[in-house]
Amino acid sequence: MAINRAQLVQELEPGLNALFGLEYSRYENEHTEIFDTENSDRAFEEEVMLSGFGEAPVKGEGAAVSYDYAQETFTARYSHETVALAFALTEEAIEDNLYDSISARYTKALARSMSQTKQVKAANVLNNGFSTSFPGGDGKPLMTTDHPTLTAGDQANEPSTAADLNETSLENAMIDISAFKDERGLKTNVQARKLIVPPALQFVADRLINTPNRVGTSDNDINALRNMSMLPDGYVVNHFLTDTDAFFIKTDAPNGLKHFVRSPMSTGMEGDFETGNMRYKARERYSFGFSDWRGIYGSPGA
Which pLDDT belongs to residue 47? 95
pLDDT score, position 2: 65
| 233 domain residue, yes or no | yes
Does residue 155 fall inside a structural domain? Answer: yes
- Residue 33 is assigned to a structural domain of this protein: no
Q: What is the pLDDT of residues 36-65, one digit of tens each?
A: 999 999 999 999 999 999 999 999 999 999
Residue 172 lies in a domain: yes
Do the domain assignments include residue 284? yes
Residue 210 near residue 268 (C-beta atoms within 8 A): no
How confident is the model over 80-129, as pLDDT tens digits? 999 999 988 888 777 776 445 667 777 888 888 999 999 999 999 999 99
**Given this model, what pLDDT does residue 3 score?**
56
Q: What is the extent of the structural domain holding 100?
A: 78-299
Q: What is the pLDDT of residue 68?
A: 93
Residue 172 has pLDDT above 60, yes or no: yes
Supply the pLDDT for residue 106: 79
- The pTM of the full predicted model, rounded to 2 decimals, is 0.88
In a domain, 38, yes or no: no
Percent of the chain with pLDDT over 70: 90
Task: Quote the number of domains for the chain.
Answer: 1
159 is a domain residue: yes
Is 164 contained in some domain? Answer: yes
Mean pLDDT (the chain) is 89
pLDDT higher than 70, residue 204:
yes
Inform me whether the pLDDT recorded for 140 exceeds 60: yes
pLDDT 10s digits, 231-272 = 999 999 999 999 999 999 999 999 999 999 999 999 888 888
The DSSP string of the chain is: --B-GGG-GGGGSTT-----SS-------GGGGT-EEEE--SSEEEEEEE----PPPPPPTTPPPP-----EEEEEEEE-EEEEEEEEE-HHHHHH--SS-HHHHHHHHHHHHHHHHHHHHHHHHHHTTT-TTS--TTSS-SS-S-B--SSS--B-SS-SS---SSHHHHHHHHHHHHT-B-TTS-B----EEEEEE-GGGHHHHHHHHH-SB-TT-SS--B-HHHHTTSSTT-EEE-TT---TT-EEEEE--SS-EEEEEEEEEEEEEEE-TTT--EEEEEEEEEEEEES-GGGEEEE---
